[in-house]
Copies of this chain bind each other. A is one copy, B any other.
């Protein structure tokens, strides 16, 4: 938190502002969450197009499903290890997350992958981090939060901490093969559900998807207002 405010203060100082504005704060959030901008990263025309449809996919699913946070910014400027990014910010602090929210989140996370598939009939390595985050979330819903009706309100997997010189936390498989298989099946069911929500949104609104992607290719970044103007 202190880190964020500090970063915002630096940004304000660079612009010769006397006070930290909300814009400074948002910029600081992006820098801290996603790493610094990497404009030196040169994308080919094709890659720029793929990235634009990928981010447009995330953003369009996010603003079309219930229980999601508002889209704050969509960008195809490379930051840290990501080729582009869609920034969603909750309207208030959140301490509890519900199954309904997580189900929408899975669809949003898969939105980039689905957009690539619909538009290019192919997928790229660009989706790999999204898939990892979605798979981990689906696994947690089932094994930590009791959100699977098949497995019930039971937690699975025992965390182990080993401290040598460094530090390691591994998860011990404390269940049978039958349960391992049920967990795999339930993860697949959740991911498929998210995939289908995402597909439904993006096939029904393919024209809006094209509009957002084209705007992204020309402007590189869409602020909240610009984005919602395209969507409505």
**Known contacts A94-B44, A125-B145: A153-B113 contact under CB 8 Å:** yes
CB pair B131 A154 closer than 8 Å: yes
In the complex, identify which listed stretch (A7-15, A176-184, A212-220) lies at the interface while the others stay far away. Answer: A176-184
CB pair A127 B153 closer than 8 Å: yes
Picked from B47, B98, B145, B155, the residue with its CB within 8 Å of the CB of A94 is: B47
Does chain B have a CB within 8 A of A161? yes
CB pair B47 A96 closer than 8 Å: yes
Picked from B95, B155, B172, the residue with its CB within 8 Å of the CB of A47 is: B95
Residue of B nearest to A179 (CB): B184
Picked from B110, B160, B165, the residue with its CB within 8 Å of the CB of A170 is: B160
**Known contacts A44-B94, A165-B164, A168-B160: A127-B146 contact under CB 8 Å:** yes
In the complex, identify which listed stretch (A24-32, A57-65, A186-194, A200-208) lies at the interface while the others stay far away. Answer: A186-194
CB pair A44 B92 closer than 8 Å: yes
**Known contacts A154-B191, A180-B176: A124-B97 contact under CB 8 Å:** yes
B-contacting residues, A162-178, CB 8 Å: 162-168, 170-178
A68: min CB distance to chain B, Å: 15
What chain B residues lie within 8 Å of A174 (beta carbons)? Answer: 139, 171, 173
What chain B residues lie within 8 Å of A78 (beta carbons)? Answer: 95
**Known contacts A44-B92, A97-B124, A178-B184: A146-B131 contact under CB 8 Å:** yes
Residue of B nearest to A44 (CB): B92
Residue of A93, A124, A136 with most chain B CB atoms under a 10 A cut-off: A124
Taken together as a complex, chains A and B put the C-alpha atoms of A181 and B181 apart, in Å, by 12
What chain B residues lie within 8 Å of A96 (beta carbons)? Answer: 47, 50-51, 83, 124-126
A169: min CB distance to chain B, Å: 9
Does chain B have a CB within 8 A of A87? no
